Structure 1
Amino acid sequence: MSSSDAATRTSPPSSPGPAPVVDVEQAEAALVEHYPRLVRLGYLVLPPSLGRNRRVLTAHWLTQRALPRARTTVERAMVPAQRGAGRPGGDPGYGYVRLRVLRSALEAGLPLRRRAWPRRAQLPPLLPQVWGLRLFPRSGGADELALDQRLSALGGPARAAFVLRGLEKLPDAEVRRILEGAGVTDPHAALAEADGVAASYELLDSPEFDPCSLQARPPDLMRRRQHGRAALAATAAALVCGTLLALPGDGLAPGTPAAPAYARNPAAEAALDPEELTRVGAGEWRRSARTDFSVWPARGSLTGDRELLGRALAVWARPGPSVQVSATPGTASGAPPGPAQLLYAGEVGRARVVVLHDGLRLVRYAEPRSGAGGGAALDFARVDGAAQGTSGAVVVGRGKGEVRYLTAPWVRTVAVRDLREPSAPARELDRSADGVTAPLTAVAQSQSQSQSQSQSQSTGCTEVAALELREEGPGSGGTRLVTDLGELTPAHLTSGRPQSPGEVDGQAARESWARTACLLGAVRSNGVRSVNSWAYAAQRLPEGNGTATWVCTRAETWRGAGSRVLAQFQAPGKDTGAIAARAQDSPACGAREPRVLAGVLWKSRAGHWHVLAAGSKDVASVRVTGGAQGSARGNTLAAPAREGARAQLRGRLADGTEVSALR
């Protein structure tokens, strides 16, 4: 817990005064203005046992029912006291509707009793209702998943205490009063239980917990038949089909361009038939002109298990509510368009795993082995246009801080490198005969730097593991380096100028990556295909403070859009670079526009402040205006400045073309 959090929680309560009066219009205005915030609060407090789809609908329902029926009085303790940008501070209308949402969410988690009528919040919501779809928030990263699991283990009052602390930024005294107003009998115990959650409050603002930004999936269509309304629809369909079958011929008028109602789609049926799966031979990749997933052979001890393969294909086509589905950004998660290619079927750790390829996507199906517990999982990753450098490994197992890979048939040996230790030798990693590696500790990329901070000196980033793949065969680059960014396919790491990046297989390239590795967390879980690190400038610092290096790191995605660019300032004596600028969907540092300009406010060892800027070699001059003034010929600039100065950078190429700073 940070010192600022502790200070906030021990702040004295607001001074007493007359109880505010809230009318319907004031409460409605507060509800409309802060609707996404209230729905997020309700979603986080509702019991996770409801399932994500019902939690989303219930959170919206509870929020929409929070309006008072008439003019009412709200206790001053319920009025929010927080201040700051985007905070509802001091609005009694907001305090009233927040209390109503919180009370209803806590009631929804109470167990039903045989001799008592259920409370309204314990019943399924009347409205809104969505038929034929399951709605749930977008998936977050590993930190959000861990927080969701920790909140699931808490009781309702403890969840409410944690959310009021983190989402509403309330001190403990106000949290206790609000919990008492919501009907919690022991607020002190709830706060004590919430203290056991070791997670950052900033994660509560993640899209993982935003029930207003949703994804849609079909429900389990087979299970629908067990419900009354589905049975009625099936009866009606049977009557219609019976009538059509009684008609002469196929029941359609001559020339109608539609298939009969009872016609079947052979391609759709073949896609769900395990016997129709494509199986590539073990040596096909040696003779093929392509080197990608399409020439991977079918491997694993369960490639002949027809029941397992049938379950994997059926879940792919119709994932049920208990299946955990994930997809990299920009990846479709629909049913297979036709018979897929089998890459792997076998036991990995405590799970049975099937890996399939449909030409555009990799699909990983995992189910627990007998007695392992848990549910099935289905993961999608887009891999169209994969080449040898980006098709060398696939994650087949992940859990308990470990990850296992299935390697390509052209990979001779696999080793592990710590990107933070460029001089340390690689450590050999064992593989099975099927190409599955031994468990590798999944070292999480440092997430300590905030998106809003320009200084990204990470804490706790002591090791970043990467796989070193030594390959054979035509077109092989010899050695390639890939790293896990929390997705099905690892990201290919390269180094050098954007027009011709090279492999990270030399000491100089590894040393360049050593100070960049901890910043990989900034591009995690974004569907990243490759990450290139390019040292584009060296700058001699003022006052004899040594020489700094400017590095541009560009992460390309499988979908093309969503690329992320980071400009780093690597000061001498620092083991991790500081993010000077960042951009998304920018062509900078890429093959199309291999130029960049970035600046940073820097303090010398003598305590003097300067604006430093550097551009790529094709930048002929740099100028700074605003909070600092100066210009320089060449691609670097250093101008005196004051602490906190905000300046604007402009550069020009030799032909006079203006270059703006990365943002």
Structure 2
Amino acid sequence: MPIVPPQQRPDVRRDRTDVRQAEAALVEHYPHLVRLAYVVLPPGLGRHRRVLAAHAVVQRALPAVGGGAPTARVPAQSRRSRPTGEATGTDSGTGTDTGTAYGWMRLRVLRTALAYERRPRWWPGRLPAPAALRPTVPVVWGLRLFPRAGGVDELALDRALSRVDGAARAAFALQVLEGLDASAVRDLLARAAVDDPADAVRRAAGLGSPDRDGARAMLGSGEFDPCTVQTRPSDLLRRRQRVRAAAVAAALCVLAGGLAVAVEESTRATGADRRPAGALAPVLDPAELLRTAAEQWADTSRVDFTAWPARGGRTSDTELLGRALRAWAEPPGSVRVSATPGTGTVPPVEPPRLLFAGEVDGAAVVLFHDSADRVVRYAEPLSGTGGAALDFARTDDADVTTGGAVVIGRTGDGARFLLAPWIAESTTRDLLAPDTPGRPLAVGRDGVTAAVPRPALGGACDAWPVLQLRSSERIVEKHAFLVTDLGDLAPVHLTYTPKPGRAAPARQPREATGPEALLAWARTACSLRTLSAAGVRSVNNWAFAEQKLPEGGGPADWLCTRAETWRGPGRALVQFLPAAASPTEPATVVADRGDTALCGRFGQHVLAGTHWKAPSGRWYVLAAGSRAVTRIEAKGAVRGSADGTAFAVRAPRDAEVELTAAVRGGGTLPAVY
């Protein structure tokens, strides 16, 4: 008879050994791995869900015996490798530690954390994604968890990290927290299935300051520590109401199951009057809308859209509110939907906050704010056959200024704004008339302004209307600021950073209401046209250098106009302002960079150049650098150098010149074009 070989059994004992090694590494380095996951996870999750997700990512990284054991065995001599360059073993000499228990666990943590950003774009932010793309988040009932707040530097770094994708955040964290070099980071990201590891490393380099130890200290602070958290209760009264409502709803569902099916079939046939079904029904119930007390803005440390009360003459119109919520949940074909770049249009996962419901310029308008930091405007015509409109805009980390107003309606060349409850005074002024004082702007009892002329985004640029708003002294004493309409729901906050003083520390952005700021904006306002409808949050004019022009050409200023978007990426325009006969003569744009840290908190050094014609008709190459520049050098068609932050050399009109600068503390800086 034939001899049948014995059935092979998996080496379960070896699997268990490997899993125990991985578990030992996880337990030993758990806080470090959770911090790494927290940095890599999308900041858009919110701090509470990001804390829970970071713990879930690390805990889920531990494989199951027999099914999810490591494919590469963990070497016995490397069972307890350590983070931050202390590993005892490496894989292929790259320094990535993927052959050690810790390195292997770190790789699994990276893969799972990065998978959060590979969820389908249409997947709601708080609804569960497919199992392959999400870890199981621990459940915390009745509490909100937050890492301890850091300082200004930590907050700025967190905002900078939110402006890049997970791959760049992972590259930054691996270099700063793990101490890996660029080559090792690229190798590890490739193993984590990142499409372009080299690009991620390049973008991460734009996040970190030259002081890597400082960046490590910031990432090591409480701001990025999901293992040391503060707790706050969720809405206790609403939670009790929901529990009671859930019990009643369950009983009703049991008694009226058949009737519910019939009603669902009937409402399907009614088209526009269809109500959302399933889990979204209580979320989109007008009775569940959040409403803030009228005076809460003066008694809270969070002065943003969560402090706005519900205003307008139709806040009790449940039919209007219901139509707005249903259009949000499932917009019919007759509703025009628009969103600023990077803003999701999915239904809310929690009842949104009602900010306004009323009539504006022949339309019924409803304004919501939801937990995903979005402002949503629904508008339907009061008469006629026109369709409704649904507009979305991001409002991440809005504050006194960026949360100070919202466009509530537009007609023709004008726009009306809904002002925040803390705005005590409102005027309008023209940026192209810097010496003309502002004119009072009428505001209704519901916070809606009179129509304000809109900047002309095409044709002649002969005026640029802006709002000058002043906060109540109950918030900030004598705080006035400028905002302008660039076509989005949220107007853009305009600021100014003055010229560097001699031997003075670096200046910080300030409100653009002073004479010097207004003169600078008078010559650069028309460049704002290139930023229309781009989801811009704020624009800062930084006067980074001044220069005396050759041949008695007078003084010239160099400005970097930086636009910050709500979704993160920034854009920088470098502009040259020679002496001019008119205070509104447009500046010359000499460089334009998109998706850059240039001229921001993490791009504080800049060098730029341009060709300039002297009154005599001779041409020069001019260059100027920011305050840390100590020497500028030109190579190419002409050669020359000069100490300091300014440089000029005779050159043909079209001469090709390469400009570089030496920076205080060492290093060179190329010119931006």
- TM surpasses 0.5: yes
Partner residue, 1:530: 538
Q: Measure, in 2, the Cα distance between the counterparts of 1:587 and 1:295.
A: 31
Work out the CA distance in 2 between the residues paired with 1:324 and 1:604: 53
Give yes or no for the alignment of 1:366 onto 2:366: no
Q: 2:548 aligns with which of 523, 529, 540?
A: 540
Alignment of 1:597-608 (within 5 A): 597-608=607-618
1:644 alignment partner, one of 642, 654, 660: 654
Q: For residues 323 and 266 of structure 1, what CA distance do their matches in structure 2 show?
A: 23
Match of 1:420 among 414, 417, 432: 432
The amino acid that maps onto 1:559 is: R
1:9 equivalent in structure 2:
none
AA paired with 1:579? V
**What displacement does 1:576 show?**
1.3
Secondary structure in 2 matching 1:343: strand
| 1:423-572 equivalent positions in 2, closer than 5 A | 423-445=435-457, 447=458, 460-472=460-472, 473-475=474-476, 478-496=479-497, 500-561=508-569, 563-572=570-579
Of 392, 403, 408, the match for 1:396? 408
1:499/1:591 contact within 8 Å kept = no
Aligned to 1:325: 337
Deviation of the 1:350 alpha carbon:
1.4
Structure-2 separation of matches of 1:592 and 1:385: 19
Displacement of 1:477 in angstroms is 5.7
| Residues 425, 470 of structure 2: 8 Å contact kept | yes
Q: Give the secondary structure class of the aligned counterpart of 2:325.
A: helix
Tell me the CA shift for residue 287 of structure 1.
1.1
Provide, for residues 27-57 of structure 1, a one-character-per-residue CA deviation record: whole Å limited to 9, x for no partner: xxxxxxxxxxxxxxxxxxxxxxxxxxxxxxx
Aligned partner of 2:619 in structure 1 is: 609
For residues 440 and 301 of structure 1, the distance between their equivalents in structure 2, rounded to whole angstroms, comes to 22
SS of aligned partner of 1:511:
helix
Instruction: Please name the residue that 1:355 is paired with.
Output: 367
1:236-259 per-residue CA deviation (whole Å, 9 max, x = no partner) reads xxxxxxxxx99xxxxxxxxxxxxx
**C-alpha separation in 2, matches of 1:266 and 1:571:** 64
Residue deviations 1:201-255 (CA, integer Å, cap 9, x gap) = xxxxxxxxxxxxxxxxxxxxxxxxxxxxxxxxxxxxxxxxxxxx99xxxxxxxxx
* Aligned mates of 1:521, 1:625 — CA distance in 2: 35
**Secondary structure class of the residue paired with 1:643:** coil
- Residue 344 (structure 1) shift: 0.3
**Secondary structure in 2 matching 1:515:** helix
Letter in 2 for 1:421: A
Structure 1 stretches of 4+ moved >3 Å: 264-267
Q: Distance in 1 between matches of 2:423 and 2:347?
A: 31
Contact 2:422–2:475 (Cα < 8 Å) also in 1? no
User: What letter is aligned with 2:479?
Assistant: G
1:589 equivalenced with 2:599 (yes/no): yes
**C-alpha distance in structure 2 between counterparts of 1:475 and 1:593, whole Å:** 29
Secondary structure, counterpart of 2:482 in structure 1:
strand
Choose 401-410 or 536-545, whichever is displaced more.
536-545
Q: For 1:93-104, list aligned pairs within 5 A.
A: none
How much does 1:623 deviate?
1.1
CA 265–324 in structure 1, closer or farther in 2 if over 3 Å, else same: closer
Secondary structure at 2:323 match in 1: helix
The Cα offsets for residues 503-541 of structure 1, whole Å up to 9 and x where unpaired, read as 112112111211111111122221111111011111111
Task: Measure, in 2, the Cα distance between the counterparts of 1:624 and 1:271.
Answer: 63
Q: Which secondary structure state, in structure 1, belongs to the residue aligned with residue 599 of structure 2?
A: coil
Aligned with residue 382 of structure 1, among 388, 394, 405: 394
Q: Structure 1 CA distance, aligned partners of 2:445 and 2:491? A: 21
Give the Cα–Cα distance (whole angstroms) in 1 for the partners of residues 518 and 345 of structure 2: 37
TM-score, length basis structure 1: 0.57
In the TM superposition, residue 397 of structure 1 has moved relative to its aligned partner by 0.3
Which of 615, 621, 628 is the equivalent residue of 2:631?
A: 621
Give the C-alpha shift of residue 401 in structure 1.
Answer: 1.0
Contact 2:286–2:322 under 8 Å retained in 1: yes
Instruction: State the secondary structure of the residue aligned to 2:407.
Output: strand
What is the DSSP-based 3-state SS (H/G/I as helix, E as strand, rest coil) of the residue aligned with 2:386?
Answer: coil
Pair 1:499–1:384, CA change in 2 (3 A):
farther
Cα distance in 2 for residues equivalent to 1:493 and 1:485: 12
SS at match of 1:607: coil
Distance (Å, rounded) in 2 between the aligned partners of 1:617 and 1:499 = 10
> Percent same amino acid among aligned pairs?
47
Partner of 1:661: 671
Q: Which residue of 2 aligns with 1:291?
A: 303
What residue identity is the alignment partner of 2:464? V
Aligned counterparts of 1:316 and 1:375: Cα–Cα separation in 2: 14
- Give RMSD over aligned pairs: 1.9
| Aligned residue pairs, count | 389
Q: CA deviation at 1:595?
A: 1.8
Q: Provide the C-alpha distance between the structure 2 equivalents of 1:274 and 1:627, rounded to a whole number of angstroms.
A: 70
Shift of 1:613: 0.6
User: Residue 484 and residue 523 in structure 1: after superposition, are their counterparts in 2 closer, same or farther (change >3 A)?
Assistant: same
Deviation at 1:628, TM superposition (A): 2.8
Aligned-residue offset at 1:438: 0.4
Q: Distance in 1 between matches of 2:312 and 2:331?
A: 24
Q: Secondary structure at the match of 1:480?
A: strand
In 2, the alpha carbon distance for the partners of 1:477 and 1:266 equals 50
Partner-residue secondary structure (3-state), 1:286: helix
Task: Pick which of 264-273 and 343-352 moved more.
Answer: 264-273
1:635 to 635, 641, 645: 645
The CA deviation string for residues 87-112 of structure 1, in whole angstroms up to 9 with x for no partner, is: xxxxxxxxxxxxxxxxxxxxxxxxxx
Does 603-612 or 430-439 show the bigger shift?
A: 603-612
477-486 vs 390-399, greater mean Cα deviation = 477-486
Amino acid at match of 2:463: E
Q: How does 1:216-255 map to 2 (within 5 A)?
A: none
The alpha-carbon deviation at position 499 of structure 1 amounts to 6.0
Q: How far apart in 2 are the matches of 1:528 and 1:509?
A: 20
Give the secondary structure class of the aligned counterpart of 2:401: helix
- Structure 1: gaps (5+ residues): 1-132, 134-244, 247-263, 449-459
Residue matched to 2:285: 273
- Counterpart-to-counterpart distance in 2, 1:440 and 1:267: 42
Among candidates 414, 422, 427, match of residue 410 of structure 1: 422
- Cα distance in 1 for partners of 2:533, 2:636 equals 37
Between the aligned partners of 1:266 and 1:511, the Cα distance in structure 2 is: 57
Q: Give the AA of the match of 1:578.
A: T
Between the aligned partners of 2:415 and 2:427, the Cα distance in structure 1 is 14
**CA distance in 2: counterparts of 1:585 and 1:499, whole angstroms:** 23
**Match of 1:114?**
none
Contact 1:366 1:378 in 2 (8 A): yes
> Would the aligned equivalents of 1:499 and 1:594 in 2 still touch at CA under 8 Å?
no
- The CA deviation at 1:265 is 7.5
Letter in 2 for 1:369: L
Structure 1 contact 345–353 (Cα < 8 Å) conserved: yes
| Native 8 Å contact 1:554 1:564 kept in 2 | yes
Residue 340 (structure 1) aligns with: 352
